Amino acid sequence: MKIINQKELMMDFLEDYGRLKRSLPILPRDSLDNEDSPYVNSIHVIKNCYYCFDGGIAEDSAYCYFPYKIVDCFDCDYTFESQLCYQCLDCQRCYNCAYCQDCLLCRDCQFCYFCRDCHDCFGCVGLHHHKYCIFNVQYSEKEYFKKVAELKKLPSEQNLKRLKKLSIKYPRRRVASLKTENCPYGNYITNCANSYWIFDGIGDEDSAYLYQSKFCKGSLDMDQAYECEFCYSGKGAFSYQCSHVDLCSHSRDCHYCFRCEYCEHCWGCVNLNKAKYCILNKQYSKEEYFEKINEIKTELGWKMKN
C-alpha cells in the first residue's frame, strides 16, 4: 500500500496551474496601449518608439530601458521626465543632455555626473546651480561655447575618460534618492515614503522589497509593478489585492495568474480577459467559486479568516 505524503497533496493546485501555463500559447510580448512601436516589451502607453523595454509613457524614442515620461530620447536607461536626451543614465527632468549620469533638472549639459539644476555645463561633476562650466572650471558665456565647440570635435571616449578621472576626486553619496521619507536600505528612489528595500522606485508608499516600481502602495516583493495596491509577489500593473501574478494588469483579488487583464476573483488562470470567478480557466458560480477557493487555500496552507 502506497503512503501518500501530505506535501504531495498540497501541490495539486500548483501542478495543475503549471500544466495550464505550459498548455496555452504565450504572446510574444507584453505591452498595453502602444501605438506604432515595434520591437518593445513590458512597456505601456508609448507612441513611435523602437527597442524600448520595461517602462511606460514614452514618445518618439528608441533603445531605452526603464524609461518614464520621456520624449525624443535615445540610448537612455533609467531616465525619467526628460526630453531630447542621448546616452543618459539615471537622469531626471533633463532637457537636451548627452552622456550624463545621475543628473537632475539639467539643460544643455554634456558629459556630466551628479549635477543638479545646471545648464550649459560640459564634463562637470557634483555641481549645483551652475552654468558655463567645463570640467568644473568657470568660464564666461562666450569662452564656454568656444571651448565646448572644440571639445565636441574630440571622440566621446576621450571626454568620458577625462570625466571619469575628474569624478574620482569628488566624494559620492551613499545613495541616490530624492524627496523620500523613512526609506532605509534602498537606492535610486524618488518621492517614496515609509518603504524598505526599494530600488529604482517612484512614488511608492508603505511597501517593501520592490524593484523598478512606480506608485505602489502596501505592496511586497514586486518587480516592474505600476500602481499596484496591497499586492504581493509578482509583476503587474493597475491591480489591487493580487498575489503570485505575472504580467497581469487591471485585476483585483487574483492569485497565481499569468497574463490576465481586467479580471476579478480568479485563481490559477492564464490568458484571461474580463473574467470573474474562474479557477484554472474554468468558470464557476460565485458560491461555487468561494467554496472551491477555501479548499485551495487550505491545501496551500493559507491562514483562513475566522
pLDDT band at 245 (very low <50, low <70, confident <90, very high): very high
Residue 163 has pLDDT above 90, yes or no: yes
pLDDT for position 303: 75
Residue 142 has pLDDT above 50, yes or no: yes
**Which of the pair, 235 or 32, is modelled with greater confidence?**
235
pLDDT for position 305: 64
Q: What is the mean pLDDT of residues 102-109?
A: 97
Residue 306 has pLDDT above 70, yes or no: no
**Torsion angle, CA of 86/92/124/186, rounded to 10 degrees?**
-120
Q: What is the mean pLDDT of residues 145-162?
A: 96
Q: What is the mean pLDDT of residues 277-294?
A: 96
Percent of the chain topping pLDDT 70: 95
pLDDT band at 1 (very low <50, low <70, confident <90, very high): very low
Question: Quick one: how far is CA 150 from the chain centroid?
Answer: 38
pLDDT for position 178: 84
Residue 55 has pLDDT above 90, yes or no: no
Q: What is the mean pLDDT of residues 139-144?
A: 97
Predicted TM-score (pTM) of the model is: 0.84
**Torsion angle, CA of 281/286/288/291, rounded to 10 degrees?**
100
Eight-state DSSP code of residue 159:
H
The beta strands (E) that lie in the chain are given as 31-32, 41-47, 50-59, 62-65, 68-71, 80-83, 119-122, 131-134, 137-138, 177-178, 187-190, 196-202, 208-214, 220-223, 232-237, 243-249, 252-255, 264-267, 276-279, 282-283
For residue 173, report the phi and psi dihedrals to the nearest 5 degrees.
-70, 150
pLDDT for position 9: 44
Query: pLDDT averaged over the chain?
Result: 92
- For 175-218, how does the pLDDT look when each residue is reduced to its tens digit (9 = 90+)? 888 889 999 889 999 999 999 999 999 999 999 999 999 999 99
Position 221: which residue type? D
Residue 92 has pLDDT above 50, yes or no: yes
Residue 2 has pLDDT above 60, yes or no: no
- For 4-37, how does the pLDDT look when each residue is reduced to its tens digit (9 = 90+)? 444 544 468 999 999 999 999 887 777 777 899 9
Look at the chain and count its residues: 306
pLDDT band at 43 (very low <50, low <70, confident <90, very high): confident
pLDDT band at 173 (very low <50, low <70, confident <90, very high): confident
- For 108-136, how does the pLDDT look when each residue is reduced to its tens digit (9 = 90+)? 999 999 999 999 999 999 999 999 999 99
Q: Name the β-bridge partners of 122.
A: 110, 134
